[in-house]
């Protein structure tokens, strides 16, 4: 099997086009919601709606991946990006953004099939690396798109930004239909949720990443609103900061993927959490645009943490089919993601800096946990990735 075949290259192209479409507005959508009358707490609610629909969609997505071939599931769901951006473009007030957030959540329903596809076409020693490279292509598109999105939003308005996104989404969906299909091979033995829960490694991953996902989603939706409301940054400047965050993720994803494969998941996750803590700290303590830019570079750890998780957790599934394993894990991770959005909104309403203070506390706690368990070499300790 070739290490990186034509289908992987097509996926990377589709990911970049998708990221260009999303990146035009991804870091601006919550600032746009504020302009449509949303409150600070509402930002967290909208994020929670988005992530709740994402978590719900994983289960039917896994069912479809098990029942049908992988390519039609991946490509079919990918096309939901087009009506999602259309909803954003036509929204007259913030409640009308909700259908767009719902569709934005459900267009992630192909994730179980998508991750299974990558896993099945990867050599065992290169799973985390291939996951990191492929998912790492996503922030590459986000490097340039926010610059254009912020500029256009200031000049011609956000509705035209969404219109361009629709075109890019259509192009991305077309490219993904060109990948080569692969049969889905699943274990013949019966499995149940109880058997998955009985897997000690899976339970440890759930505990650790539950806290980790809570940390990353507590602060993420409030990055650009913080820079807008506390430091008075406009759309153009916010586009630059969003591009820096994407650049950080584009650099970190392949590096941390390789580090995870080579040195183990403890070092990989610990390093990413360190960048997350550094980003939150610089954001709330910095008093200069250069410092805020450094903070956004470090906050590329938000995407990196989620992406390297994909290559780590598969070995904990046991006899559970890949699509179902990913779907169940991702659905569980939807809980801290939704909690993070709601709790972050509540904290942000009380004081702008509070969500990031909690991110710092949770990140440091996980880093200390990793350091403490790493010293106990040769033993598996609950709640630490291994």
More confident residue, 330 or 103: 103
Give residue 150's Cα distance to chain centre: 21
Give residue 99's Cα distance to chain centre: 20
pLDDT of residue 170: 94
* Rounded distance between C-alpha atoms, residue 305 and residue 160, angstroms: 32
- How big is the chain, counted in residues? 386
SS3 label, residue 312: helix
* Rounded distance between C-alpha atoms, residue 157 and residue 145, angstroms: 15
Q: Containing H/E element for 215?
A: helix 200-219
Residue 82 pLDDT level (bands cut at 50, 70, 90): very high
Q: Where are the domains of the chain?
A: 6-178+194-375
Q: What pLDDT, in 10s, does the model give residues 249-264?
A: 778 777 777 777 677 7
Residue 366 pLDDT level (bands cut at 50, 70, 90): confident
Is the predicted pLDDT of residue 247 greater than 70, yes or no?
yes
* CATH architecture for segment(s) 6-178+194-375: Up-down Bundle (1.20)
SS3 label, residue 343: helix
Q: Per the confidence metrics, is the pTM higher than 0.95?
A: no
The answer for residues whose C-beta is within 8 angstroms of residue 48's C-beta and 6 or more apart is: 338, 341, 342, 345
Q: What pLDDT, in 10s, does the model give residues 301-346?
A: 777 777 777 767 777 777 777 767 777 888 888 888 888 888 888 8
Q: What pLDDT, in 10s, does the model give residues 200-241?
A: 788 888 888 888 888 888 887 888 888 888 888 888 888 888
Question: How many CB atoms neighbour CB 339 within 10 A?
Answer: 17
* Rounded distance between C-alpha atoms, residue 111 and residue 333, angstroms: 13
Residue found by looking up tokens 């291939």 in the block: 130
Copy the structure tokens of residue 165. 């996104």
Copy the structure tokens of residue 225. 């609103």
């Amino acid at each position: 099997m070739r290490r990186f075949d034509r289908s992987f290259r097509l996926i990377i192209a589709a990911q970049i086009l998708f990221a260009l479409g999303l990146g035009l507005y991804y870091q601006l959508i919550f600032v746009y919601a504020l302009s449509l009358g949303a409150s600070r707490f509402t930002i967290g609610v909208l994020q929670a709606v988005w992530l709740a629909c994402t978590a719900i969609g994983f289960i039917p997505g896994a069912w479809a991946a098990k029942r049908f071939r992988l390519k039609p599931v991946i490509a079919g769901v990918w096309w939901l990006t087009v009506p999602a951006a259309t909803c954003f473009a036509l929204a007259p007030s913030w409640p009308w953004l909700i259908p767009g957030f719902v569709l934005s959540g459900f267009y992630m329903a192909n994730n179980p099939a998508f991750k299974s596809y990558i896993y099945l076409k990867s050599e065992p020693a290169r799973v985390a690396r291939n996951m990191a490279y492929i998912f790492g292509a996503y922030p590459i598109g986000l490097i340039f798109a926010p610059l254009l999105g912020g500029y256009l939003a200031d000049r011609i308005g956000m509705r035209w930004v969404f219109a361009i996104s629709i075109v890019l989404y259509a192009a991305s969906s077309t490219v993904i239909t060109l990948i080569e299909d692969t049969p889905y091979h699943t274990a013949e033995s019966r499995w149940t949720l109880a058997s998955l829960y009985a897997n000690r490694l899976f339970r440890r991953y759930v505990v650790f990443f539950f806290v980790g996902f809570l940390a990353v989603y507590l602060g993420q939706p409030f990055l650009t609103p913080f820079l807008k409301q506390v430091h008075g940054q406009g759309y153009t400047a916010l586009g630059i900061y969003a591009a820096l965050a994407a650049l950080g993720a584009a650099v970190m994803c392949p590096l941390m993927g390789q580090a995870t494969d080579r040195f183990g998941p403890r070092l990989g996750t610990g390093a990413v959490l360190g960048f997350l803590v550094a980003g939150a700290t610089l954001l709330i303590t910095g008093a200069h645009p250069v410092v805020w830019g450094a903070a956004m570079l470090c906050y590329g750890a938000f995407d990196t943490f989620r992406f390297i998780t994909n290559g780590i957790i598969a070995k904990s599934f046991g006899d559970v089919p890949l699509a179902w394993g990913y779907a169940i894990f991702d659905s569980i991770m939807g809980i801290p993601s939704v909690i993070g959005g709601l709790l972050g909104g509540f904290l942000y309403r009380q004081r702008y800096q509070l969500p990031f203070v909690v991110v710092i506390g949770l990140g440091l706690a996980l880093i200390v946990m990793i350091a403490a368990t790493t010293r106990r070499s040769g033993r598996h300790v609950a709640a630490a990735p291994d």
